[in-house]
Amino acid sequence: MFVAACIHDYDHPGLSNKFLIQTKDPLAILYNDRSVLENHHCAMSFNILLKENNNFLEHVDKEKFNEFREVIIGLVLATDLAEHFQILSLFKKKILNIPKCVQREDKILLMKILIKCADVSNATKEKSIYKRWVDGIMEEFYRQGDMEKKLNIPLSPFGNRDNANPNSCQKSFIEFIASPIFEAL
């Protein structure tokens, strides 16, 4: 899980999956419009990991390595917000049967929820730290909005720096994304 947390946003270009798909970015083409960024984070990270001086798993047998890779990829793909509500819904159903949740896929589902909590945990930070995260994400939204204007494509939510409302953005984020996942956990 630690590895997935470390790599889950590696080489992030500061643009959304939707934007990359709309603009037919080479990454969107490469990953067939499916969890474009998350697939990219995994691919770039494993390219680095598999280099001779970086491969801390070189002595792990092939089966264990493949299992490790499968879990890491699954955890990183779970950070795609397009999958958020599906994963949360499945977890809520499973949590009702905790004594029966001993299968491998149940443990992986729990790890997905944990990495998703970590991914949105900026909303739980002390105010000055949280504000830095908000400022950073809003600037990402604005830069993407500027690009969308230039390309004459519909603006993403919160991408219009002329009438943006960071408080409204964060209220929605906390209300619909962060709070429900922490409450489920």
80 is in an annotated binding site: no
9 is in an annotated binding site: yes
CB 177 within 8 A of CB 81: yes
Structure tokens at 112: 């997905």
CB 156 within 8 A of CB 21: no
- Determine how many CB atoms are found less than 10 A away from the CB of residue 107: 12
Residue 46: closest CA among 2, 79, 7, 1: 7
119 is in an annotated binding site: yes
Instruction: Please tell me the distance from the alpha carbon of residue 141 to that of residue 36, in angstroms, as a whole number.
Output: 18
Residue set of the binding site for Zn(2+) = 8-9, 119
Residue set of the binding site = 8-9, 119
